[in-house]
A = this chain, B = another copy of it.
Amino acid sequence: MSQREDLLAGARRCLVEKGYSRTTARDIATASGSHLASIGYHFGSKDALMNLAALEAQSEWGDVIERAVRASADADPVQRLRVAMTELLASLPHQRELVVATTQAYAQAEFGDDIRVALAEASRQARTELAAMVLGRDTTDLDADAADGIGTVVHAMVVGLAVQFVLSPDTLPDGDRVAAAIVELAGGDHSDSNGAA
């Protein structure tokens, strides 16, 4: 394993354990077993390394979410939302580190053009893919505007639930309830709905 990879891994660990603001170049060197000056050699600066590590973590989390939501595409269309929310909520505890690192990335977006542009592009792509998956159609087989709406909403749910999870991991309702809440929010006044009421 090259020092470059070690440093990226160490930077991510620091991102999760100490946060962006409290991580020093020496922390990364120690956490990665590499040497302080290698940061400058491989990444130019400590901030560049941190941003890269944050982006990498965000990207990985995106992959996890994609897998989780993709599971819903196979489901009965009626159950699709419920499955997607359940999978999403179930994945959060196992991916806490990635979620924390992603919140650190979001917080840096406002102050670094590179990281903001990368996150914006990732967000755009996530919306498209999430929309396609939730609707169970191909990416190309969508009305662009409508898909953007669906993708934005699903992405907002993902990010919003992730933030709430970081703030208070034990107070999130389960997927059934979240799905039911979305239906109710949409004005779904079906007399039966579910058995939880």
For the complex formed, measure the closest distance between the CB of A171 and the CB atoms of chain B, giving whole angstroms: 7
Q: Would you call A77 and B187 a contact (CB within 8 A)?
A: yes
Q: Would you call B19 and A108 a contact (CB within 8 A)?
A: yes
Contacts of A119-177 to chain B: CB distance below 8 A: 119-120, 123-124, 134, 143, 145-146, 148-150, 152-161, 163-164, 166-168, 171-173, 177
Q: Would you call A164 and B168 a contact (CB within 8 A)?
A: no
Instruction: Say if the beta carbon of A184 comes within 8 Å of chain B.
Output: yes
* Segment of A5-13, A32-40, A59-67, A99-107 engaged in the interface with chain B: A99-107
Interface size for chain A: under 10, 10 to 19, 20 to 34, or 35 or more residues?
Answer: 35 or more
Instruction: Say if the beta carbon of A109 comes within 8 Å of chain B.
Output: yes
Query: Other CB < 8 Å A-B pairs besides A19-B108, A152-B178, 8 of them?
Result: A78-B187, A100-B110, A103-B106, A123-B167, A152-B161, A156-B159, A156-B161, A159-B164
Give 6 nearest A-B pairs by CB, closest first: A156-B160, A21-B21, A149-B181, A107-B107, A160-B160, A186-B186
